[in-house]
């Protein structure tokens, strides 16, 4: 199994518009953070997590020419507003691309992007994404793109988002905490991905110290932090983290199940 971090930034992205802080003006390419998304590859199948605004650029950079399915964590703009770029896949394969996620998020997407989920054909000379929505039950396990996927319910302010356990990998973003019901499904992980917004507490997201504490409790062999802001540069954050925990960056590729140390592979 392989995990590709397509984007690792918060809703503003990094650099932020108009900001001249050290991170936003950094020349380190790891400090260029597009909105959060990931790709999981296993046995020749590809599973995309979320469709952020930069999705086309992310997929082109990663050389992705086909997808088998999409997982949505929730329907916030920074995680879904690149959804129209999925038309490249449904048009090429000539059939609807299956998308999965929380029932309320999929319903919101159908309202916001009705043209994508309706049965009307595209106008002559145009194309549109052709998607089929499949709601998931929290705590349930489903086979998607040949992978066993368990949806985990996580609090995000007044909303519930889904994290996902996929074999030895767990991908949890936009969570304020990891409830016991989700934590029970996180034993024996090789790779854990956690959102880590800021050095200070935030009402909707795990802070960096909270994410580190959760990572140490869960005990995955390797933990990577995502959904990062401009509050810390990659190098600064990496120097502060304990062994086994590292900041992710756009283009980082992880071989899940590999026996080597913390990888630094990029596109």
**What CA–CA distances, in Å, run from 222 to 60, 100, 136, 247?**
27, 26, 27, 11
Q: What percent of the chain has pLDDT over 90?
A: 88
Q: What are phi and psi for residue 62, nearest 5 degrees?
A: -85, -5
Q: What is the mean pLDDT of residues 159-172?
A: 96
Q: Are strands 191-195 and 37-42 parallel, antiparallel or unpaired?
A: unpaired
**Which pair of tokens denotes residue 204?**
């909707």
Beta strands in 8-146 (DSSP E): 37-42, 45-49, 69-71, 97-102, 131-136, 141-144
Q: Residue 262's pLDDT is what?
A: 53
Q: What's the CA gap between 211 and 216, in Å, rounded?
A: 9
Strand order in the sheet with 169-172: 141-144, 147-156, 159-166, 169-172, 191-195, 222-226, 245-247
Contact 3, 253 (CB under 8 A): yes
What are the structural domain ranges in the chain? 2-255
The residues near 194 (Cβ < 8 Å, ≥ 6 apart) are 172, 173, 175, 206, 211, 214, 215, 223, 224, 225, 226
The residues near 132 (Cβ < 8 Å, ≥ 6 apart) are 96, 97, 98, 99
> Has residue 165 got a pLDDT over 60?
yes
CATH of 2-255, one of 3.40.50.1220, 3.40.50.720, 3.60.15.10, 3.40.605.10: 3.60.15.10
pLDDT in tens, 184-200: 999 999 999 999 999 99
* CA atoms lying within 13 Å on the CB side of residue 154: 31
Q: Residue 265's pLDDT is what?
A: 61
> Has residue 264 got a pLDDT over 50?
no
Q: What is the mean pLDDT of residues 102-123?
A: 94
Mean predicted lDDT score pLDDT of the chain? 95
């Amino acid at each position: 199994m392989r995990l590709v971090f397509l984007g690792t930034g918060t809703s503003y992205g990094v650099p932020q518009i108009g900001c001249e802080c050290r991170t936003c003006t950094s020349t380190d390419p790891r400090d260029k953070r597009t909105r959060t998304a990931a790709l999981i590859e296993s046995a020749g199948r590809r599973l995309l997590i979320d469709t952020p605004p930069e999705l086309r650029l992310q997929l082109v950079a990663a050389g992705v020419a086909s997808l088998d399915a999409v997982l949505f964590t929730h329907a916030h703009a920074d995680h879904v507003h690149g959804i129209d770029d999925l038309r490249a896949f449904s048009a090429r394969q000539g059939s609807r691309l299956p998308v999965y996620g929380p029932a309320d998020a999929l319903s919101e997407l159908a309202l916001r992007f009705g043209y994508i989920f309706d049965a009307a054909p595209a106008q002559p000379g145009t194309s549109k994404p052709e998607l089929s929505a499949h709601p998931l039950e929290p705590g349930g396990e489903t086979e998607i793109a040949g992978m066993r996927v368990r949806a985990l319910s996580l609090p995000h302010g007044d909303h519930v988002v889904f994290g996902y356990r996929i074999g030895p990998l767990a991908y949890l973003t936009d969570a304020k905490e990891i409830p016991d019901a989700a934590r029970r499904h996180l034993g024996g992980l090789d790779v854990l991905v956690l959102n880590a917004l800021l050095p200070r507490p935030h009402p909707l997201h795990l802070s960096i110290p909270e994410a580190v504490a959760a990572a140490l409790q869960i005990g995955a062999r390797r933990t990577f932090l995502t959904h990062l802001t401009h509050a810390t540069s990659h190098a600064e954050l990496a120097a502060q983290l304990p062994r086994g925990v590292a900041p992710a960056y756009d283009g980082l590729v992880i071989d899940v199940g590999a026996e080597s140390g913390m990888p630094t592979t990029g596109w």
